[in-house]
Structure 1
Amino acid sequence: MSDAASLQAVNARRAVSFFFVLLGTVSGAWAARIPAVKNDLGLSNGQLSFGLLALTGGLVVGMRFAGRLTDRLGSARVLTPAAVATCLAVIPPGYAPTLPLLVAVLFLYGLVNASLDVAMNAHGVEVERVYGRPLMSSFHGMYSVGGLVGAGVGGLFAWLGLGAGPTLATTGITLALASLLAGRHLLPLPPRAADAPRPAARARWSGWIVLIGVVAFAGLVGEGAAVDWTAVYLFEDLGAPQGVAALGFAVFSLAMTAGRFAGDHLVRRLGPVRLVRCSGLLATAGLATALLVGRVPVAIAGFALFGLGLATIVPQVFSAAGNHDPARAGESIAQVATVGYTGLVAGPAIIGGAAEVVGLPAALGIPVLLAAFMTVSAGALRPPR
C-alpha cells in the first residue's frame, strides 16, 4: 500500500476499534444502572423483565433491517448515524417515568443498537480485507474493554449518588460527539458506490448461515451462563464466601478479554477452523473441570479456561459470515447475530429452569455440551475458496 493508503487503513482500524469500545461502554453503563432504574420505578423482577425483553425484541427486529440497510448504503454510511442514535437512545431509559414508557424506549434502544452492531462488524470485515490479516478478535476485545469502562462509569455515578438518568446522559452525549469525529476516518465507499446507493442484496437463510449462527448461539449461551450463574455456583454449591464467589465472573471476563486480544495472532497461526476447534476443547475442559472437581480454586481456574475458550468463537463466526459473500456481508452478519444473540437471552433462562429440576451443577452441563458442539462444528468456518 502507498503511504496514504496505509495511513487510511490505520485510521479506519482505530475508528472501528472506537466504535466497538463505544457500544461496549454504552451497554456496560446501562447494565450497571439497571438496579437504579428498577428501584426508581418500584418494579418487581417480573416487571423489569418486560423492559429487558423489549430491548431484546428491538434487537431482533432491528437485525431484520440492519443487514439490508448496511448492504444497500455501505457500512461507512450507516455506522456513524447508528452510533449517534444508539448513544442518544440509551438516555431515555434513565428518565422513563412509567413501565410502559420504559418498555417503549428500550425497544427503540434495541432497534438502533442492532444497526450499530451490524454496521461496525461489517466495516470491521472491510478493514480486515484492507490489512490482509485477521483483526476481528481484537475488535471484539475492544468491546469487552468498553464494557468494563461502562460498568466503571456506572459504578462511579452510583457511588456519587447520581441517578441512572445523569449517568446515561453523560455517557451517551459524550460518546455521540466523539463518534462524529471517529466516523470521519472510516474507509470510503468504492468509487462506483460513492454517489449511488448499492443495489439491494438479499441474503437467503441457508443451512450454512444457520449452522454458524448456532455455533455463535452455543458460545453466547456460555457467556450468558457465566454472567448469571458463576457466582451463584461458587456461593451456593461450593460454599465460597460472597467476595470470593464474585471472583468467578471477574476471572472469566478478564480471561475472555485477554483471549480476544490474542485471537488475531492465533488465527493467523492456526486458521479459523483449528482455532475454534481448540477453543471449543479448552472451553469444554475448563467448565467441565470446574463442575466435576468441586473445589473453589479449581472452579475459578476452570472458569478462566472457559473464558479463554469462548473468547475467539463469536469473532471468528462474524468474520466468516462477513467474508463468505462480501456483497451481502451486512445481511449475513445480521442473520448470524439474530441466531447467536438468542443465546444470551435464552441461555440463562434455560439453565435456570433446568437447575430447578436437576440442580445447578448438572444444569451447567448444558454449556459444556454446547462447547463440545462448537468443537465438532468448527469445520463450518473454513474460508471460501
Structure 2
Amino acid sequence: MNYADIEKLMNPIIKNFKVYDAMPSNETLIQKYSINSEKIVKLNGNENPFGPAPEVIDNLINIPINTYPDPELIRSRKSLSEYTGLNIENIVVSSGSDELIDLFFRIFVTPGDEVLDFTPTFGMYAVRAGLAGAKIVPVSRNIDFELDYESIKQKVSDKTKIIFLASPNNPTGNESTLEDIEFLLSLNKILVVDEAYFEFSKSSYANLVEKYNNLVVIRSMSKWAGLAGLRVGYGLMSKELAKLLMGVKNPYNVSTVAEESLIVSLKYVDKLMEKVDEIIVQREKLSDALDQIDQIKVYPSKANFLLCKLADNDIQTINNALLNEGVFVRLFATKGLEKCFRVSIGSAEDNEYFYTKLQKVLKIQ
C-alpha cells in the first residue's frame, strides 16, 4: 500500500493541517546555518535561564519511575490549591498548558465552527483550532496590540464557541485589562485566559473563575519554575468544567517526574520568585539599553521577553548575522510582525552578549 492510498483514508482535516512553527533545537540551528561560534546564547524560547529549584534536581533520584502516575494527580492539585487559593475541585493538572488548549478545542469545537484569533498572538491557538476543524477568523489588534472591541463584536457569531486570550500576550508582551475580560465574558462564550507568564506580570484573573462559569485560566510551570523540559501546567476553572476535563484527558497525562517536580517547586516559591524578580530587573535593563538604538523600537513587556521592531534593516539579514554570532532569537511570519524579533530575557551575561552582538550586526560603534 503506497502513501497516496493511505492519504485517501485520512481525515481531510489532517491532510490540510497547518503544522505549528515550533522552535528548532540548538543542534538543528547550528547544522542548518553552519554556525561556528564558540558561544551559543539561546534567547528564542522564553526559557528560564536559572533553571528549576535545586531541590527539584536533588529529588529526581527519589522518584519511582517504575509505577504509573496518579490519574487524579491529587498531590499536585493539593499543592496548586495552596499556591492559587482555589479549591482542588477547580484545578486540572496537564502535560503543559498546550494539552489544555488542545482539550478545550476538542471539547467545544466541531468542524465548521469559528474561532476568533486575536492576531498577533500565540500561534498554537490557531493550529489546534484548525486541527479541530474550525474556521480561523483573524481579528487584528490595534497599533498598541490592544483588543479591538468593535471588530470583535462584528466577527463573533453563533458559530463562535470558545475564545482564547493570552495575558500577557505572546509575542507582544502586553497585558489584558479587567475591562477586556469582562467584555469577552459578556459575549457568552467560553473564555480561556492563558496566563503562562503570570509570575512575571504579577497580574491574574484566576480569582474570577468561581464567579464566572465560562471563565478558564491556564498556566505553565515552564517559564517561572524552569520545568519546560518536563511539560507540566494546570488549569483553573469551575468545578463542573474541571470534572469534565478530568474525565476527557488521558488518565496518565502527567508523568510522575513532572508531578513530583511541580510539587517540590511549589515548596520553594520564594526562591523561585527571587529568580523571577531578577529576570524582571534584567528585562527592564535590556529594554532601556535597546531603547537607545535608533533602528529598533522596543515594545513594553510584562513577560520574560521583549518584542523588538527593526526600522529599516532587513530582518532576515540581521537574524542570519546574529546566528553566525551564536545568538538565537525568534522571528515571526505573522502579519504585522514581519520586521520584528522576540528576544527572551537570559542571564545578565547572556543579555550583554546579545546586546553587544546586536550592535555589531547593526554596525553601531
Q: Identify the structure with the greater strand proportion.
A: 2
Structure number with higher helix proportion: 1
Normalising by structure 1, we get a TM-score of: 0.27
